[in-house]
């Protein structure tokens, strides 16, 4: 009986009961260094699927971080180096009510006023931004969907956040020297301890 119990326990450990499902990682190679983001398809399945579709298509290659506020976040994934907005796929459903919080180092979807208007643009929180979390289903309280976190390269995020900014094409907080996402690639999924 004991042998059976320990065999079942071992099977649970190795089958992933002790370890969470493998989560994909995406590497952003930027002009200021690399950033590795671990995605959370369990909490934000539609958002992760959407993000990976943009990565797989090469959409992010050559885009810039076009909005940078040091004590808030860095935003990218929508504009070319000459500040032209790229055409995107249809908007996705907002999964902000997933229990994940906009803490420093987390990655969330940018959007317009409509809670369900996110497409390609994302941001990385440089500080804890709890005011961006889901509070209710009103337009003002819906929040911004967190779908991953930086697991390597926060020093790069901080370097981008310190970049001097200016006005370009009628937009403020744009880095004076473009910070380019040279390439975005999916890395092998990594097991995550619970």
Residue 137's domain is classified under what CATH number?
A: 2.40.100.10
List, as one string, the DSSP characters of 33-56.
EEEEEEE-TTT-HHHHHHHHHHHH
In a domain, 16, yes or no: no
Distance CA 137, CA 17 (A): 33
* Residue ranges with strand state E in the chain: 19-30, 33-39, 63-69, 73-80, 106-109, 122-125, 146-152, 165-168, 171-175, 180-193
Task: List all residues 6 or more positions away from 147 whose beta carbon is below 8 Å from its beta carbon.
Answer: 39, 40, 43, 44, 47, 48, 51, 95, 100, 107, 108, 109
pLDDT of residue 154: 98
User: In the prediction, which pLDDT does 113 show?
Assistant: 95
Asked whether residue 169 is domain-assigned, the answer is yes
- pTM score, whole prediction: 0.87
Arithmetic mean of pLDDT over the chain? 90
Q: Is the pLDDT of residue 8 over 60?
A: no
pLDDT tens for 124-138 read 999 999 999 999 999
> Quick check: is 54 in a domain?
yes
Using CA atoms, how far apart are residues 31 and 156, in angstroms rounded to an integer? 10
- pLDDT the model gives residue 9: 44
Asked whether the predicted pLDDT for residue 16 surpasses 50, the reply is: no
Looking at the domain assignment, is residue 85 inside a domain?
yes
Asked, for residue 13, whether it belongs to a domain, the answer is no
| Residue 146 covered by a domain | yes
CA end-to-end span of the chain: 28
Domain presence at residue 63: yes
The domain containing residue 75 runs over which residues? 22-193
Q: Is the pLDDT assigned to residue 114 strictly greater than 60?
A: yes
How many domains is the chain partitioned into structurally?
1
Q: What's the pLDDT tens digit per position in 66-100? A: 999 999 999 999 999 999 999 999 999 999 999 99
**Is the Cβ–Cβ distance between 184 and 50 less than 8 Å?**
no
- Say whether pLDDT at 108 is over 90: yes
User: Does 1 fall in a domain?
Assistant: no
Positive or negative: CA dihedral 76, 90, 50, 144 = positive
Is the model's pLDDT at 194 over the cut of 70? no
Q: Distance (Å, rounded) from C-alpha 129 to C-alpha 119?
A: 21
If phi over 0 gives left and psi between -120 and 50 gives alpha, with beta otherwise, what is residue 62? left
Backbone dihedral angles phi then psi of residue 16, each to the nearest 5 degrees: 110, 5
């Amino acid at each position: 009986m004991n042998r059976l119990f320990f065999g079942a326990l071992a099977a649970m450990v190795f089958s992933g009961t002790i370890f969470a499902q493998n989560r994909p990682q995406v590497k952003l190679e930027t002009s200021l260094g690399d950033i590795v983001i671990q995605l959370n398809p369990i909490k934000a399945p539609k958002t992760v699927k959407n993000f990976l579709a943009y990565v797989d298509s090469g959409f992010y290659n050559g885009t810039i971080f076009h909005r940078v506020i040091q004590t808030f976040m860095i935003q990218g994934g929508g504009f070319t180096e000459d500040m032209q907005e790229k055409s995107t796929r249809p908007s996705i459903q907002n999964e902000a009510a997933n229990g994940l919080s906009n803490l420093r180092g987390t990655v969330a979807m940018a959007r317009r006023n409509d809670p369900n208007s996110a497409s390609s643009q994302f941001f990385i929180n440089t500080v804890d931004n709890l005011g961006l979390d889901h509070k209710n289903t009103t337009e003002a309280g819906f929040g911004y969907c967190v779908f991953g976190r930086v697991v390597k390269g926060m020093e790069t995020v901080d370097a981008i956040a310190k970049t001097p900014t200016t006005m370009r094409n009628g937009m403020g907080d744009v880095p004076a020297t473009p910070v380019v996402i040279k390439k975005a690639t999916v890395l092998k999924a990594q097991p995550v301890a619970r």
